[in-house]
Amino acid sequence: MSILSIYGCVDSDNLPCDDSTALSKVSEFPLGTAIKWDEFQLDTNYFHIAKTQFSSYTPENIFKSENLHPTRYNYNWEQADSLMSFCLNNSKRLHGHTLIWHKQLPQWIIDFQGNKSEWEEIFRLHIITIVQHFKGKIKSWDVVNEAFDEDGTLSNTLWKEKIGPGYIEKAFRYAEEADPECLLFYNDFNLESNPVKRTAVLNYLDHLRSRGVKVDGIGLQMHIDVITADATLYALAFRSVYEKNYQLHLSELDISLNPSGKNIVLNEELLLQQADIMGKIVNLYKQVPLPYQYGITFWGISDKNSWIRSNYNRMDYPLLYDDQYNPKPAYCKIKSIL
Ligand code: XIL
């Protein structure tokens, strides 16, 4: 079945839109996808699209501490190195995700018993070992992920509890020490839509910078949905980040069609709403000054592999490709805008 008969997908010249030319070829800034390791290895459709459409990869799970650092004295480099060499051989940028997060931790960290300085030692070694391992190859890291609550206060995470509220500053300092050339990002959700949280994060990072800490960029995750999407808010958010001299990464973009988890039937209206929002976001991003455009990363390729379905246990269609790897109207829309 052709894409036209499935979606009636057309580009701005009313020509049928397909994915035979790559998105990244028509884009002036990096376009990325999260990479799920098993699919990348085993699913030829997934691999083909990842390889042809996108110029930047973010490992979806294999660089998280439960996978990369499974026991105290052992690191599992195998998959990470293999993805790294694929990227080096195929001119893909690999964005490191993520050094310090309170989720997807290995059991040994959760169970670790120690005083503050012992905790700081495992924290420091974790960061230094990983950043040094990829030194010169990985040029950017999400150093700290999701450290703030919606009201703008620091979340009470394991790291804050064990190391103290200065853990964010320490994480950035250790990462810089391990690879001074690397771009260092803070990454979080709802920063695009919640000005209270975003302002708190910006003030906090500005404060770190005033203390001589290197912070290069901010990742707005952008796990958004068709009900609450608001391009006016996003325009403000993008501006507030680059005006303060932070590189802007739309780091985990997906657009849920079913945020409240109903029994929905996928229809043309929803697909077109999704395409419309995707188009507005890409349009806004094109207006971000070039030095601040770190790129847009989609949090996956096909709806069938999206984390939303498994994580929230609901049927959803948040990505650019459908379950059969056909490009959706959102794909065609952004292609016509890029
Ligand atoms: C998600 C992955 O996509 C899932 O496969 C995993 O089970 C849980 O984590 N914010 C982040 C990402 O920073 O790392 C998360 O990724 C999604 C939310």
**Single-letter amino acid, residue 305:** N
249 with 297: CB under 8 angstroms?
A: yes
156 with 112: CB under 8 angstroms?
A: no
**Single-letter amino acid, residue 129:** T
Query: Active site residue: 60, 146, 176, 192, which one?
Result: 146
φ, ψ of residue 23 to 5 degrees: the values are -55, -45
Ligand 1 neighbours, Cβ below 6 Å, are: 60-61, 145, 221, 252, 307, 311
Query: 268-286 and 329-337 helices cross at what angle (nearest 10)?
Result: 30
219 with 252: CB under 8 angstroms?
A: yes
Q: What ligand 1 atom has the least distance to the C-alpha of 36? A: 5
Distance 277 CA to ligand 1 centre (A): 22
Distance 253 CA to ligand 1 centre (A): 12
Containing H/E element for 210? helix 195-210
Helices (H), 69-194: 78-89, 107-111, 116-133, 158-163, 167-178
pLDDT digits (tens, 9 = 90+) for 155-214: 999 999 999 999 999 999 999 999 999 999 999 999 999 999 999 999 999 999 999 999
User: Distance between CA 133 and CA 142 in Å, rounded?
Assistant: 16
Which one of 186, 188, 307 would you pick to mutate in the ligand 1 pocket, going by the greatest count of ligand atoms within 8 A of its CB? 307
Distance 75 CA to ligand 1 centre (A): 20
Residue 9: band (very low, low, confident or very high) from pLDDT cuts 50, 70, 90? low
Distance 223 CA to ligand 1 centre (A): 10
Q: What ligand 1 atom has the least distance to the C-alpha of 142? A: 13
Residue 1: band (very low, low, confident or very high) from pLDDT cuts 50, 70, 90? very low
Atom 1 (ligand 1) nearest CA = 307
248 with 293: CB under 8 angstroms?
A: yes
CA distances from 175 to 123, 124, 127, 170, 260 (A): 11, 9, 6, 8, 39
Report angle CA 134, 221, 156 to the nearest 5 degrees: 85
Which one of 101, 103, 191, 252 would you pick to mutate in the ligand 1 pocket, going by the greatest count of ligand atoms within 8 A of its CB? 252
- Residue-level pLDDT at 155: 98
Instruction: State yes or no: is 252 an active-site residue.
Output: yes
Q: How many CB atoms lie under 10 A from the CB of residue 166?
A: 12
Q: What ligand 1 atom has the least distance to the C-alpha of 187? A: 13
- Residue-level pLDDT at 3: 42
Going by C-alpha positions, the residue among 328, 315, 220, 202 that lies closest to residue 258 is 315
What is Dmax (Cα atoms) for the chain?
A: 65
Omega before 98 cis (within 30°)? yes
pLDDT digits (tens, 9 = 90+) for 231-246: 999 999 999 999 999 9
Q: What percent of the chain has pLDDT over 90?
A: 94
Q: Which residues contact 159 (CB under 8 A, 6 or more apart)?
A: 100, 102, 123, 147, 167
pLDDT digits (tens, 9 = 90+) for 266-316: 999 999 999 999 999 999 999 999 999 999 999 999 999 999 999 999 999
Atom 12 (ligand 1) nearest CA = 60
Cα-Cα-Cα-Cα dihedral sign, residues 147, 259, 273, 2: positive
Instruction: State yes or no: is 146 an active-site residue.
Output: yes
Tokens of 134: 């990829």
Distance 5 CA to ligand 1 centre (A): 34
Instruction: Determine the 3-state secondary structure of 71 from DSSP.
Output: strand
User: Distance between CA 298 and CA 174 in Å, rounded?
Assistant: 28
Atom 13 (ligand 1) nearest CA = 145
Q: Is the pLDDT of residue 78 over 80?
A: yes
Q: Is the pLDDT of residue 11 over 60?
A: no
Q: Is the pLDDT of residue 264 over 70?
A: yes
pLDDT digits (tens, 9 = 90+) for 109-155: 999 999 999 999 999 999 999 999 999 999 999 999 999 999 999 99
